[in-house]
Amino acid sequence: MAKAKQTITVTQTGSPIGRHKSQRATLVGLGLNKMHRTVEVEDTPSIRGMIRKVQHLVQVKEA
C-alpha cells in the first residue's frame, strides 16, 4: 500500500515588491504570485527550505 503523502497549506501574506529576486523566484516556485493566494504543497525538506527563505511573506498551516 502506498503511504499517504503529507501536505501543507501555504498562503502568501506579504508582497514581493522590493524584495530580492531570489525571494520572488521562491514564491513562484511555491506556486504563489499574488497576495492571499493559497496552495497545497507536498511536505518535503526542499519545500520546507523554500518556506523558510520567505517565511516573512507566507503563512503555513499543517494539514
Statement: residue 55 has pLDDT above 60? yes
Statement: residue 53 has pLDDT above 90? yes
pLDDT value of position 2: 59
* Nearest to 62, CA basis, from 13, 14, 10, 12: 10
Structural domains in the chain plus CATH codes: 7-62 (3.30.1390.20)
Q: Tens of pLDDT along 1-45?
A: 556 789 999 999 999 999 999 999 999 999 999 999 999 999 999
Asked if residue 51 lies in contact with residue 30, where contact means CB atoms within 8 angstroms, the answer is yes
